Amino acid sequence: MQYPKPILDLVSSYMKLPGIGKKTAIRLAFHTLKMKDKDIEEFSASLINLKKNLCRCTICGRLNEKQVCDICSDPNRDNSLICVVESDQDLIAMENMEGYNGLYHVLNGVISPMNGVGPADINLKSLFNRAKNLEIKEIILATNSSPEGEGTASFISKILKNTDIKVTRIAQGISFGSDIEYADEVTLSRAISGRFEL
Amino acid sequence: MQYPKPILDLVSSYMKLPGIGKKTAIRLAFHTLKMKDKDIEEFSASLINLKKNLCRCTICGRLNEKQVCDICSDPNRDNSLICVVESDQDLIAMENMEGYNGLYHVLNGVISPMNGVGPADINLKSLFNRAKNLEIKEIILATNSSPEGEGTASFISKILKNTDIKVTRIAQGISFGSDIEYADEVTLSRAISGRFEL
């Protein structure tokens, strides 16, 4: 015995989302049945409009609604500084910190030989093109502290070695508010090797 | 700093689903960006078509695509027997058991004074109308074993007391494969009082 087709169609769509199995998808579909018509219409429209109304900034590769994003076109930003991040989510996290006033470069991925992702598959070429601009003084590599993130950072720094640009990596160590007792060995060893004088 | 509007619109739609908070909704929205256009279109269409293509069976109240559902119109079903369930999901569970050949009645809710749901708010009136049919010999109350489910079963049995219809309740006891050691007191006491001779 199966659910009626309109429910099964929605269940199979929900199941395409990460972390949602059949039971959860059925629960979500029955919840959707109880939602207001207006909310369902908005949900449906927001799915269709998602890709239609978004593009990547031609300079930094950030997802936005314009050819050149707000940050790249902001005259108050320090355009001698580029912070390289893996994703749009990372860019938002950096911006929410409210302590950085330079530009960004969104890689939209990381080099990951295990997953068949090479340097040509992520937004790297345009970074090296931007690096030819003499105004750029420093490139901060803010990729994740994962093997792939470290690898990507090291790849970029090697390519930029013979330029005048200072290439830096964000500091690694103990998270604010966390206990040394529970820190893993790699984090602790990086916190020690990155120690600074008070 | 906020995400672009097309992403925020989808995030707020995802957040209307149960158990999905802001962080998960953002993750789902970025996953949606990576989905195939065809899958997104199907997702959007399945949302719009959900309510449009579904109605409740005029006899049993089950969600389906016709005025009278497959079960109610099946001549091979035993129409002297009605199994009363709370929801469409419960009906599917009963059908998947493959051991029942009678008809159903979907209440689409339970009487729950705490939540302001009275007998008139669920699909009860049509059950009592069906009960006037002389062909009906037995009504099985298969509401959940929750306070609301028990209350609803007892309400229905009181109303049908003075008719010739046999009103039964599904058995309660230890689940198949479960340990007596971990059973709660109410389940155990019901298993004892419902004991039968071997």
Q: Do A1 and B65 touch (CB under 8 A)?
A: no
Task: Look up the pTM and report it.
Answer: 0.80
What is residue A166's three-state secondary structure? strand
- Average pLDDT value for residue range B148-174: 92
Q: Which fold has domain B60-197?
A: Dna Topoisomerase Vi A Subunit; Chain: A, domain 2 (3.40.1360)
Give residue B99's pLDDT: 87
What mean pLDDT comes out for the span B145-170? 93
pLDDT tens string A183-195: 888 888 888 888 8
Nearest Cα to Cα of residue A13 among B161, B41, B21, B164: B41
Which of B43, B49, B63, B108 to mutate to test binding with chain A, by most A CBs within 10 Å of its CB? B43
Amino acid at B142: A
Contact A42 B13 (CB under 8 A): yes
What is the C-alpha separation between B31 and B90, in angstroms, rounded? 32
Of A12, A31, A47, the CB nearest to B44: A47
Residues of chain B contacting residue A44, judged by C-beta atoms under 8 Å apart: 44-45, 47-48
Helix A5-14 / helix B37-52 crossing angle, nearest 10 deg: 140
Query: Minimal Cα–Cα distance from A188 to chain B, Å?
Result: 28
Query: Per the CB < 8 Å rule, is A4 touching B42?
Result: no
Provide the pairing of β-strand A138-141 with A166-169.
parallel
Please name the member of B13, B29, B65 whose beta carbon is closest to the beta carbon of A5. B65
Instruction: Tell me which of B11, B17, B27, B47 to substitute to probe the interface with A (most A C-beta atoms closer than 10 Å).
Output: B47
Count CB-CB contacts under 10 A for residue A155: 17
| CB < 8 Å to B4, chain A | 53-54, 63-65
- For B91, the closest chain A residue by CA position comes to A1
The number of beta carbons lying within 10 Å of the beta carbon of residue A95 is: 15
Superfamily of structural domain A5-52 = RecR Domain 1 (1.10.8.420)
**Chain B residues with CB inside 8 Å of A87's CB?**
30
Tell me what pLDDT residue A196 has.
Answer: 81
Whether the per-residue pLDDT at B1 is higher than 80: the answer is no
Cα(A91)–Cα(A54) distance, integer angstroms: 16
Which residues, including other chains, have CB under 8 Å from residue B158's CB and lie 6 or more apart? none
Q: Catalogue the E-assigned strands of chain B.
A: 55-56, 63-64, 78-85, 102-106, 138-141, 166-169
The lowest-confidence range among B28-42, B66-80, B123-137, B170-184 is B170-184
**Interchain proximity B63–A5, CB inside 8 Å:** no
- Dump strand ranges (E) for B90-196: 102-106, 138-141, 166-169
Mind listing the pLDDT tens digit for each residue in B48-72? 999 998 999 999 999 999 999 999 9
- From B176's Cα to the closest Cα of chain A, the distance in A is 21
Per-residue pLDDT for B106 more than 90? yes
pLDDT by residue, tens only, chain A of 198 residues: 789 999 999 999 999 999 999 999 999 999 999 999 999 999 999 999 999 989 999 999 999 999 999 999 999 999 999 999 999 999 999 998 888 999 999 999 999 999 999 999 999 999 999 999 888 999 999 999 999 999 999 999 999 998 999 999 998 888 888 888 888 888 888 888 888 888
Which residues from B are below 8 Å from A103, CB to CB? none
- Measure in Å the smallest separation between the Cα of A193 and chain B Cα atoms: 33
CB pairs under 8 A between A and B: 139
For residue B57, the chain A residues in CB contact (below 8 A) are: none
pLDDT at B194: 83
* Structural domain boundaries in chain A: 5-52, 60-197
CB contact under 8 A, A30 and B5: no
Q: What is the mean pLDDT of chain B?
A: 92
Residue of A24, A30, A43, A62 to mutate, testing the B interface (most B Cβ within 10 Å of its Cβ): A43
